[in-house]
Amino acid sequence: MSRNYAWGPQPVEGGTRFRLWAPGQDHLSLRCGGLDHPMQPEEGGWFALTLEGVAPGAEYGFLLTDGRVVPDPASRMQAGSVHGLSRLAVPGRFDWHPWTPRPWEEAVILELHVGTFTPEGTFRAVIDRLPHLVATGITAIEIMPVAQFAGNRGWGYDGVLPYAPHPAYGTPDDLRALVDACHRHGLMALLDVVYNHFGPEGNYLAAYAPDFFDPDRLTPWGKAIAYDRQPVRRFFIENALYWLDEFRFDGLRLDAVDHLRDASDPEILVEIAQEIRAHFPHAHLTTEDNRNITALHERGPDGGVPLYTAEWNDDFHNVAHVIATGEAEGYYADFATDPWPKFGRALAEGFVWQGEGGHGAPSTHLPPTAFVDFLQNHDQTGNRAFGERLLTLAPEPMVRALMTIHLLSPHVPLMFMGEEWGETRPFAFFTDFDGDLARIVREGRRREFAGFAAFEAEATRDAIPDPNAPQTFEASRIDWNRAASPEGRDWLAFVRGLLDLRRDWVLPHLKGAPGRSGRVIRAEDGLIAVDWTLNGARLGLRANLSEAEADLPPGAGLCIHGLPGALPPSQVAWWHEVAE
């Protein structure tokens, strides 16, 4: 696609065009090269200026009427922190290798956080670990948000410069090199993006564009965004196109889209997907949305994907977690009563809640690849007080049984970094704020858990790790030495074996697999039997998650995993039959 963005610096005939939507300003100047250049007002609150001879790497910012110089909100690269000048980064000079996009049904996703995935915590360091992922059977990485945020340490969901890769991880070209290396290894590269809010430090938009925000609505993270205003819409639509175009990501995961409230027609989520499909028809777009809606993920008459490819299926995780741990507080409470029918329904139909009590919509008509399932991810570990991994919360036989169900299900599987070798190090919530904001985050984090039985005592809450402490971040790095330990090698062999089975027996039947493909045969008292009719084959799951040996209705065809007959506790069998 042609690079013709409304936001951010653009190479044009005669130099470089700088542009900013600043309807709250009477006049605006561009500070560049040590000089202040008055910008020309344009219709609708825009200011623009074309400068000759601006070299790549030049630093620039916008001078407001109150004397402040602010960075470009669409900065492609910063000279330093989120509070300082932006740096001109020229696109289009990277030497890309050829790449044929992989189809969605081949996705086996590993979610990773760049800063804690390796000891170095950089884009370039991730490249060195890609052969491990390929050997494991991973076919896609999903990178947690990389938009620049305040400080060096953070999850990325508090970004304030959505176009600028976080400098602690490397340069924009370092990120391009990572995506290119993924493709050379046959891996898809997916990126998590956040369009529902800005972080609490370093966002200056309200100073010159107060209309960027909706004064009548708040999100859990602060002011809501006014998506009904055209410049605001373009900011986010162009951002999505930017990552796919200039970094060649294979797809995006949109965070917490239930907070993108917009009464426009089309609504912002629809328009983002429509524009992406117009330019990148093969992009894989997934959403996180606790509404359990299906309107964004409907298939076309030919089975194609008009808008979004798949939805992160929190319901699967939540009921599986209840089964594994017995926990029943917080959002697990809705899954604690009669978890077995809920688990069977999540496997066969996608969502557990499909309109009951006014929550959700029927999902059984969607194909199984419309759901991304996981036993762990950044949220479900890091949003715990101590960031515990599932293996520290549940018996290993149960975790192995659930992993066997997870990785061979016809849904798209996602694992969290290190899960493939049975990682037990925590993944905690960490930030890098100073002063009052650091105190507010620390105290808010501990107050958040006050309603849980285990944290009723103030002394217990005080033991929750301080998000701003460097050691909280350091303790969250995954342990590559464990991968080489006897326990780690055993887990890796287990996961590789399951993914080999998925590649040989499940994957060939996922393309064109229909909706209404799953049927619950039995789901009670720790016993799960589910059959799927896929494209050219029937797949059968038989699982005994109880504490005693049990008989289940036999599957059809060949037993490809486990043993036929009565199943011991925590054992799983999978069956495969070629359809006539």
Rounded Cα gap, residues 339 and 464, in angstroms: 30
Residue of 158, 180, 288, 466 marked catalytic: 288
The full length of the chain comes to: 580
- Residue 551: closest CA among 534, 536, 565: 565
- Give yes or no for a contact between 327 and 320, defined as CB atoms under 8 angstroms apart: no
Rounded Cα gap, residues 168 and 430, in angstroms: 15
User: With the CA atoms of 419, 421, 424 and 430 taken in that order, what torsion angle do they form, in degrees rounded to the nearest 10?
Assistant: -50
Going through 265-381 in order, the beta strands assigned E by DSSP cover 284-287, 310-312, 371-374
Rounded Cα gap, residues 324 and 320, in angstroms: 6
Residue 304 corresponds to which tokens in the numbers above?
Answer: 């194609």
- Give yes or no for a contact between 253 and 312, defined as CB atoms under 8 angstroms apart: yes
Rounded Cα gap, residues 150 and 148, in angstroms: 7
Helices (H) and strands (E) in the chain, counts: 16, 26
Measured at the CA of 509, the angle between CA 504 and CA 514, to 5 degrees, comes to 155
**Any residues with CB less than 8 A from the CB of 15 and at least 6 apart, and which?**
50, 51, 52, 53, 54
Placement of tokens 């196109």 in the chain = 241
**Any residues with CB less than 8 A from the CB of 237 and at least 6 apart, and which?**
268, 271, 272, 275
Radius of gyration of the chain (CA): 25
- Residue 429: closest CA among 154, 142, 100, 22: 154
Residue 288 a catalytic site member:
yes
Rounded Cα gap, residues 226 and 224, in angstroms: 7
Measured at the CA of 154, the angle between CA 468 and CA 156, to 5 degrees, comes to 155
Residue of 255, 311, 423, 466 marked catalytic: 255
How far apart are the two ends of the chain, measured CA to CA in Å? 44
Placement of tokens 């490809």 in the chain = 560
The values of phi and psi at residue 529, to 5°, are: -135, 120
DSSP, collapsed to helix, strand or coil, labels residue 253 as strand
Active-site positions read 255, 288
